[in-house]
Amino acid sequence: MNMSMQSPAPPQSPAPPQSAALRSFTAQWRARTADSLSPLREQAMQRFLKLGLPTTRDETWRYTNLRALSAKTFVDAPFKARGEIEPNASLSLLGKSDRAASLLMVNGHPFMPAADGLINGIEIYSLREAARLDPKALTRLMEPLSDADQRRWSLLNTALFVDGLYLKITAQVATPLVILHVSAGSGGDDIAYPRVIIEAAPGSSATIIQHHVAQGEHTPLNNSDTHIVLKQDARLEHYRVYATGADAAHLDSLTVRQEKDSRFKQFTIALGGGLVRPSLEVRLDQPGAALDSYSLLVGHADRLVDCVNIVTHGAPSTTSSQTARAIASDASRVVFNSKVIVDTGAVHAQSQQSCRGLLLSPTAEIDTRPQLEIHADEVKCAHGATTGRLDPDMLFYMLSRGIDRETAQSLLVYAFLADVLTGMSVASARAAIENALIAQLPDSQTLRNFR
């Protein structure tokens, strides 16, 4: 059942005939009330309408066909979920004994914590509040708008997000902060625009976990956008974990700008969802900035996980390392596109890309494309990508020790992921992610004992 919308007038842009989705976005745009960000939003909307939805002809969308989605008429997802949400129960990535703070966002709408829920060293604002307090500063954090095809949905998010979170990390914070994103649909074709901006002040450090879950039977289309700025010497460990149901579609953009000697460690963990499209764009803008990116992409049933990483070395002596592990079973498909760009002048840049895929069924597919674009001298860039099945020699070795086939296979799958898992500093988050992973493997009971 689609929610009806009011007679959409065609926009003035010279674009080709519009899809139902584009018309519904226009209707949403017209229904929004003006705010201090309107000039920027206006630009974003115009550019989005002009460019239209990405198609498989666009470089980073070759594997994800959005045609079915473009025929839908979207409305805003409700601002509140039906029923209670218990961020500390089964949805949680953290154990009960862990010291951690959590923030809740339902379909992109933040629930601001009570004073006792605050964390020393992290200032928390809603985006509405931030837009009112300092629109110029907020606008600067959202600029520049980009027409790049991997950022297409971000334009729409900028135009249409209603509220969101703005976090300012001002000190060295030991306690992890979990942002629990709950998607809860009304039953129609609804869409949510979660927006998060994180700024890490010079010398600050923190761990932030963005955990995406669904509640109820219907999950809205998620068009989420997170932007992170790391100032000089800032350190941030960031997780985004997708754990929504098989019917969920998620388009998630993460853009990061790193200043001098900042360190960013990022984990992208795709465990759930029907279509998961995470993009990560990092600009290493000043000398000494370092990125460690880990992607753990699990394809299951007929899921499509289409991950795009674009890392730009924009200054000398910057380093980046990307480790991706993809597993595809059943009829799923996992795509990992990663591109490293070394700008002119970014001498002594070092980058490393390691992507390994593991196919667990003959109908599954893994596509990996590591790319390098180097415009500077004296750089060290390495990349490697392999995809295969479980190693028969390893399997036979374990069988020959009496271990049954199911356990041996699961152990090998688990071992395959170890490079990503061991990088995680938050032990409880790692344990929860491992549990969720293991639950998707054949011999889950034995594997639990393994840890």
* Residues within the interface to another protein (CB under 8 A): 391-394, 396-405, 407, 411-412, 414-419, 446, 450
Going from the C-alpha of 301 to that of each of 76, 305, 387, the distances in angstroms are 29, 11, 19
CB of 356 to another protein, least distance (A): 12
**Shortest distance in whole angstroms from residue 402 CB to another protein:** 4
Rounded to an integer, what distance in angstroms lies between the CA atom of residue 277 and that of residue 334?
A: 10
Residue 282: half-sphere exposure toward Cβ, Cα within 13 Å = 30
* Exposure string over 278-295, b if 16+ CB within 10 A, otherwise e: bbbbbbbbbbbbbbbbbb
Locate 282 and state its tokens.
């990092």
**Based on CB atoms, which residue is closest to another protein, 198 or 411?**
411
Per DSSP, 119 falls in state B
Q: 383: which 2 tokens?
A: 């990349």
- Residue 128: DSSP 8-state: H
Q: How far is the CB of 31 from another protein (least distance, A)?
A: 52
Residue 111 or 450: the one with the smaller Cβ distance to another protein is 450
Q: Which of 262, 369, 380, 265 is nearest to 310 (CA)?
A: 369
Q: How far is the CB of 369 from another protein (least distance, A)?
A: 25
Q: Do strands 101-106 and 109-111 pair parallel, antiparallel, or not at all (unpaired)?
A: antiparallel
Cβ neighbours, 10 Å, residue 27: 17
- Cβ of residue 408: shortest distance to another protein, in angstroms? 8
Minimum distance from CB of 59 to another protein (Å)? 34
CB of 354 to another protein, least distance (A): 13
Residue 129 or 419 having the CB closest to another protein: 419
Query: Closer to another protein at the Cβ: 118 or 427?
Result: 427
- The residue among 378 and 393 lying less far from another protein, judged by its C-beta, is 393
* Integer Cα distance of 244 and 312 in angstroms: 30
Q: Which is nearer to another protein, 290 or 326 (CB)?
A: 326
Element (H, E) at 152: helix 152-160
Nearer to another protein, 145 or 412 (CB): 412
Nearer to another protein among residue 7 and residue 422 (C-beta) = 422
How many residues belong to the chain?
Answer: 451
With beta carbons less than 8 A apart as the criterion, state whether 87 and 76 touch: no
| Closer of 412 and 436 to another protein (Cβ) | 412
Tell me how far, at minimum, the Cβ of 241 lies from another protein, in Å: 21
Residue 423 CB contacts under 8 Å (≥ 6 apart), including other chains: 265, 267, 292, 294, 323
Cα–Cα separations (whole angstroms), residue 292 to 103, 248, 386, 410: 25, 28, 20, 27
CB of 416 to another protein, least distance (A): 7
Residue 16 or 402 with smaller CB distance to another protein: 402
The side-by-side arrangement of strands in the sheet containing 380-388 is 109-111, 101-106, 177-183, 205-214, 235-242, 263-270, 290-299, 319-328, 350-359, 380-388
- Say how far apart CA 209 and CA 211 lie, in whole Å: 6
Q: How far is the CB of 401 from another protein (least distance, A)?
A: 4
β-strand 75-76 against 319-328: which pairing, if any? unpaired
Q: Which two tokens stand for residue 201?
A: 């002040």
Q: What's the min distance (Å) between Cβ of 392 and another protein? A: 7
User: Would you say 111 or 416 has its CB closer to another protein?
Assistant: 416
User: What is the number of other CB atoms lying within 10 angstroms of the CB of residue 341?
Assistant: 18
Residue linked to tokens 């009829």? 331
CA distance 39 to 31: 16
